[in-house]
Amino acid sequence: MTPILELRGITKSFPGVLANDHINLSLNQGEILALLGENGAGKSTLMNILYGLYQPDEGEILINGEKVVINSPTDAIKHGIGMVHQHFMLIPVFTVTENVMLGDEAVKQAGFLDRPRAAKRILDISNKYNLAVDPDSYVRDLPVGVQQRVEIIKLLYRDAEILIFDEPTAVLTPQEADELFLIMRTLVQQGKSIIFITHKLREVLAIADRIMVIRRGTVVGETLPENSDKNTLASMMVGREVNLVVDKRACHPGEVICEVQNMVVADKFQNIVVDDVSFEIRAGEILGLAGVQGNGQTELVEALTGLQHMVSGKVTLMGEDASKFSPRQITELGSAHVPEDRQADGLVLPFTVAENLVLCSYYKQPYAKGIVLQYNHILQNAEKLIKDFDIRTPSAMTSVGSLSGGNQQKVIIARELSRPIQFLVASQPTRGLDVGSIEYIHKRIVEKRDEGCAILLVSPELDEIMELSDRIAVMYRGQLIATVENKGISKEYIGLLMAGVVPETPIEPAADHVIEATF
Ligand code: ADP
Ligand code: MG
């Protein structure tokens, strides 16, 4: 059978990076092909070539066995190729129908908008593929999962046969992701063909018919979900054995480094969002702060790092009353912060990697003499950290904004962990990262603990909390509802606490019963 799509020897380089190196790929009709790879592996580049956004340096594209040239998205659509981007391209104040009609060639040629007919067609498409989209609703009123389905309708409306989904689940809740998988199944049952891009192992195993793994621009293997598991896929992706379980010795807590007493924090509407919270963290231990997102964790971290004022309460860091300290004063005490929103709070995107690596210390020796920055020292520091922390960047002078999310996060981790610190606040340190980077960052955090650093780890990922923490505090509606030793307790127990229920006794761990799907 001739594949519906074939890519032969596709090669594309950007300054300093070979993003795609002679990639061959074939897609059969009615199949879901997963393209799995770490951040920066070259997945989006390949798909942007297929969609006509980039031109390949070499290689060819065949559709139903015929060579085609795709110079633009318009060409791609003419050949039946459609792409659902990570960032939607919808106009919020328009209805679904208006959004779908927008830019459609047929509409342009006819020169007028036949809304009722378009609405009818959208409804038919929605019904045929179980998309449950109302053509008359305004896009701004739709949840993200439904907006994504509008993007899918846009493609089907233009008769796309090959659908490309680039990391579609990144913006979805776990429930929305499951709904999307059902839709993808319906699409292929009705004869469409799908390329599904992801770096999440669970997802490829759940939905793919066939899996292709790419690493650093080349195809490193192909497999079927039934013949593989998370560990083999992770190793293919990263190119070495990956430990999905963190290797961690018993902890030996020392003196109290961080003490929070009766902390109260309000949000901008004056609602109390951190309500009389007290805890302490000792040198050499990791306290995991668990909780469903939005239960006050963000504000607690902001108060602890000087980004927000407390209404009342006391914070003592390294023996000093830091209750009214600014972020810089807290940094100077010897504390570090890996922020939740790395692009907004952790990096200056237009600055170079080298500059971002000294953001906390650029005004001091050896990086500055008076007001003159010492570029040779800044560069030396960067070269060392790029190597030590395996930051994938064309050079130290590349702007941080052009790196992949995983590498941006490594820049922050490198900067924060390479300083002599006694206290680390790590907020969702691995959000959106692939397994290779997650393993790496987890190892670094545990190393820091073993060096005697006190660590507060904040994460909505229960797995991460349970793997790394020595003690776990659970936050619910602004309060710490329990703090427990992370020994012999089950996920169910923490899960119940996260839902605000305090069980009488910690439930014994049940090996085969996993509740991660609930959260
Ligand atoms: P993925 O989608 O697998 O995360 P990408 O295809 O986005 O990876 O990136 C592959 C490599 O190409 C990365 O090193 C990235 O920094 C680089 N890259 C991607 N797009 C551009 C661009 N427009 N200019 C320069 N470099 C780019
Ligand atoms: Mg990508």
- Looking from the CA of residue 41, the nearest atom of ligand 1 is 3
Arithmetic mean of pLDDT, 406-424: 90
Q: Is the preceding peptide bond at 420 cis, omega within 30 degrees of 0?
A: no
The answer to whether the beta carbons of residues 247 and 444 sit under 8 Å apart is no
Residue 510 confidence (pLDDT) above 70: no
Residue 8 confidence (pLDDT) above 80: yes
- DSSP category for residue 76: H
The answer to whether the beta carbons of residues 242 and 281 sit under 8 Å apart is no
Instruction: Give percent of the chain above pLDDT 90.
Output: 60
pLDDT single digits (tens) 433-448: 777 778 888 999 999 9
Going by CA atoms, what residue is nearest to atom 13 of ligand 1?
40
- Determine the pLDDT at residue 506: 61
Average pLDDT, the chain: 88
Select from 183, 20, 456 the least CA-distant residue to 196: 183
Mutate to test the pocket of ligand 1, among 11, 18, 44, 45 (most ligand atoms within 8 A of CB): 45
Arithmetic mean of pLDDT, 176-194: 93
Which residues surround ligand 1 with Cβ inside 6 Å?
Answer: 14, 17, 19, 37, 39-45, 404
- Determine the pLDDT at residue 514: 35
For 93-102, 280-289, 370-379, 493-502, which range has the lowest pLDDT when averaged over its residues?
370-379
Residue 515 confidence (pLDDT) above 60: no
d(CA 125, CA 82) in angstroms, rounded, equals 15
For 362-377, the three-class secondary structure string (H helix, E strand, C coil) is CCCCCCEECCEECHHH
Residue 322 confidence (pLDDT) above 80: yes
Collapsed DSSP state (helix, strand, coil) of residue 278:
strand
- DSSP category for residue 352: B
- When comparing pLDDT for 249 and 425, which is higher? 425
CB atoms within 10 A of CB 502: 11
Domains annotated for the chain, with CATH where assigned, are 5-238 (3.40.50.300), 243-334+420-519 (3.40.50.300), 343-418 (no CATH)
CA dihedral 450, 452, 456, 462 (to 10 degrees): 20
d(CA 396, CA 385) in angstroms, rounded, equals 10
The answer to whether the beta carbons of residues 466 and 472 sit under 8 Å apart is yes
What number of helices (H) and strands (E) belong to the chain?
Answer: 17, 22
Q: Whole-model pTM?
A: 0.67
Arithmetic mean of pLDDT, 376-384: 89
Q: What is the Å distance from ligand 2's center to 12 Cα? A: 15
d(CA 134, CA 126) in angstroms, rounded, equals 8
The answer to whether the beta carbons of residues 288 and 446 sit under 8 Å apart is no
Arithmetic mean of pLDDT, 111-133: 88
Q: What is the Å distance from ligand 1's center to 42 Cα? A: 6
Cα 429 to the center of its chain, rounded Å:
10
pLDDT single digits (tens) 126-139: 999 999 999 999 99
Q: What is the Å distance from ligand 2's center to 38 Cα? A: 9
Arithmetic mean of pLDDT, 65-81: 96
- Looking from the CA of residue 42, the nearest atom of ligand 1 is 6
- Looking from the CA of residue 20, the nearest atom of ligand 1 is 10
For 75-89, 100-114, 221-235, 280-294, which range has the lowest pLDDT when averaged over its residues?
100-114
CB within 8 Å of 204: residues ≥ 6 apart: 34, 36, 196, 198, 211, 225, 233
Arithmetic mean of pLDDT, 15-35: 96
- Determine the pLDDT at residue 218: 97
